[in-house]
Structure 1
Amino acid sequence: MPLSSTEQQPGPTPLSPATVCLLLSLTIVIPWPAAGSTLNCHMTCICASNIVSCSKMNLTTVPTGLPKYMAVLDLSFNSITRLRAEWTTVKLSNLHNLQLSHNGLTFISTEAFVYVTCLHYLDLSSNALQQLDELIFEPLGQLEVLLLYNNHISQIDRSAFTGLNNLQKLYLSQNQVSRFPLELVKEKTRLENLSLLDVSSNRIKVIPLQDLKTLPAWIKNGLYIHNNPFACSCELYNLLAHWHFRQLTSAIDFKDDYTCILPGPQKTMVRVFDLSGNYMNCSTVKEVDEEAYLGQTLVLSCDTRHRDMFKTWVRPGNVAVSLDGNQSAVVLPDGSLQIRPARPEDSGTYICYAVSQALNETLYVSVKVHNFTMGSGHDPMNTAYTTLVGCLASVVLVLMYLYLTPCRCSCCPDRSRDKGHNDDSIHSSVLSTTPTHGDLGNKAGLARHVAFIDPKELQGQNGKVSPNMEECQEQDVQRGRRQRKKSDSDSISSICSDTPIVV
């Protein structure tokens, strides 16, 4: 019989409580697939040719199944906190650009980059990294740009950047670094291609000023050290003022951001470029001229702001330096000018013209060559010593003249000698220039002798030649020893006299 309209068909059989519990337990035991675990170019990521963008997809792990043809992988603005070694198990030889910024990364495995050795650009900025372990980036021999700014990095192993032979730009700003990584830019240990190192806005208190002064200008042009708690000093001012004088980008673009802390308990922070005036009165920076000595080899550097520029030199007098190397001035392979041997006529201003596709730069180098060799007798002390010896010799000669000259007057014990013998004693004086034994009675013979005396003391002075011997006898008898003492003092007063008087 057909069922009446009021009769209803029975519904589904309700589940028993035991069945419901079983289903719930299975749901807990068997998890759902994690978000982003498998690459999905329609739902999880955006795939455009060789670019895969998975930005802002709430990923906690790197998706698996990444295509090998991929050149750019953008995983920024996710929640990938750990980059393990197995984030990719296949070699991605075409991957050149990897972006992992804004993920909260706290850990990176030392083997995380084993399968991506062809990376040129790696962005790890704005994460929570605290340290960089040894050899962490060693597999990335082709890497050119590494972004590590805005992390919490306080410890960097000295070998962390070993192997980055092609690295050109390294960004370490806005971290907690307290040691300046000098090994990255210093000669013999630096990364050869590194042209930009940004360690600004860190906790670096001390920098190696002398080492930084010797760096090439093309390295200093890309060395950013502003916003660090440096201690104020005139050496720091001189370094940065010289960078500003040379128009280096790192000093020009962030001039107002170079600050330091003044000595004292108040720890006052001031601008470094204000140290020349109100605070420490540091001296004005000037270019140092090159100096050389006669015969030395002098090398003039064309220290340009950019690397690999074509350089030509012009000597003083607007004379171009030829490249054939036949002159005393030769352009070396690195663009510097060698002058050998240095001569006084090499002094003057040399001009270096540096040219590249993007920049033309002109540098002036002033040279002064001294007209004597290094270590020669051109010494102020030698001149003073010679003057002293000459003065002492003059004193000795005058004393000998005063006290060793034979007596020529009647009061002397040897007066009994003949007149000819007495005249010979006159000619035997220490200061006599032409001893003779001719007719000494002739006054013309006496006129040829030279003595260092004052003309107004020609008469009555002991030891002086007098043309009238009788006068000498009478004066000696009347004056006695008193006149002799006076004569001695007067003679001593003319010790340094060098004017010859002919008598």
Structure 2
Amino acid sequence: MQAAHHHRLRLGAFCMLAAGMALRSEAPPPLSPSCPHSCVCDMTTWRVNCSYGGLSTVPETLPSDTTTQLNLSHNAIRILVPQRFRSLTRLIDLDLSDNLLAYIQVDAFLGLRSLVNLCLARNLLKILPVGAFSGLSELQLLDVSSNELLGFLDFTFRGVARLRVIQALQNDLVFISRQAFAGLISLRQLYLDACNVTSVPTEALTHVVGLTSLYLQRFDSSSLPGHAFIGLARLKQLVVTDWPRLEALSANSLVGLNLTSLTIRKCNLSTVPYVPLHHLVYLVHLDLSYNPITYIQANQLGELPRLQELHLVGGRLLHIELMAFARLTHLNLLNVSGNLLSTLQEGVFHSAHALQNLGLDANPLSCDCRLLWLVRRRSSLSFGGHAPMCSSALHSWGWRNFLECAKAEALLTCRPPRIKRHQLQQVRADQGHTVLFYCSAEGDPAPSVTWLSPQRRAFGEVGRIRALANGSLEVRFAQPQDSGTYCCVASNVAGNDTWPVTLHVRGFSSSPNPFHLKSWLAFPSTSPGDASGSQELPIDVKTVLIAASIGLLSFFGSVSLCFIFMFLWYKGKGQRKHTATIAYVPRSAVVRRDGSAGNYMDTSKFTMKLM
């Protein structure tokens, strides 16, 4: 019995020893005891933190084999020499940001065969030499933002075929070579800041056909040329921002793209680029904020059936026309904060009930019946914490946030238009004269004035008959066919008012001369029964005499000028003979009076004086 008991004790001790050995084999191996004095080495997470360590070079005694994360940020490291990291074969994350790095030597990262993330942001790098990233076969993210990079050379990123993200914002790129991105077959996101580059590096981008996101900041270009992104069929997100000289997009600038998100912010676009956008049928997000765009026209965005978000913040929007968002059935977010809008009517939307988020703050809104739909939908519509406010005109009412006013529906009223001069007007004018009709109206909101022709067609701002900005109608060089009744129509959201005016244009008589004038000279009548003693001339005699005088003066002037030129030419030829002798044979010497042949030697001469 006792022997059996001792046997069980020995068996239990052996099991405990085996379990202890198994537990020790599963525990993480300790880091190398050679941890630099300016670093903190975590033995449980395999991380080495040398941030703010006052280092001027990369430490030589870094723990090897097990380190997965090394933080060398916020130091004074100026240069990376070759193979300093060769022993860190398991390193995944290397942070060298916020140093004084000015140069990276070739093979500086050799040996980091497991490195995935490399951060070199906020340094003093001006160039990335070819071969600087040799050995980084697993690298996926490279951050070189906020440096002083001047450009990318051909094959700068050779050997990093798995690279997926390049962040190069806040740099001073001057050039991007055609082969700069050669070999980056896995690149998906590219962030470029090129304040001295005047055009999109189209040829360089053709090497990254798998790109899905492209961010272009601070380019020095006044236009986006055609086919700028040719070959980027997989691109889904395009961001163009801080191009102060960008004023227009070529009609073919976005050809070949199937974008779902497009951002063109802080540029100088004065109109929405309707034509370049029309083929982007998969577009969901459109941001045109901080551009001096003044109008959104009607029925121009209907080719974007999947559009859900439209941002136009901080622009100069004065008006959004009715049906501006026709056929945009999925539009659920509109942000037009910080513009110059006086109203936003429900009729601009295809369906206002689909709208869920609306940014309308910081606009000088005129609170009238056009905004009643917002009051009725305030419980189901999100304003992002910034409710729209009335302009100062209603400040005296004691309320500016009309959505919180219980009497909003009673206060938001409109007054139909009324034309001030409401009586029939008859106007008679001679052919060729200019006629001006005045039409002014009052109402709340201020009505718009339209002029209709006798055929009930609206006049535009150009043409011989045109509607002026002040509401008047101008008929220039009136013709008999312009006669008829014209109609002034004043309209606002509350109704309309009309005022007809009639124009009679007297034409010229049927005389052959359209400027039929009576002669100031009297001529006797050709018919005995004509008692007038004078006849009407088809033309004005004074005009004929004046025209003849002018013609004669011109003729004599031209002849005199020719003689003067001939005289000057003669004087400029130097000394010449002043006489010329001409010999000739008289007729009597050739045939005598008797008819016989004469002698040809009987000749005569005469002398002529030359001027």
Normalising by structure 1, report the TM-score.
0.40
**TM-score normalised to the size of structure 2?**
0.33
Larger relative contact order, structure 1 or 2 (CA cutoff 8 Å, min sep 6): 1
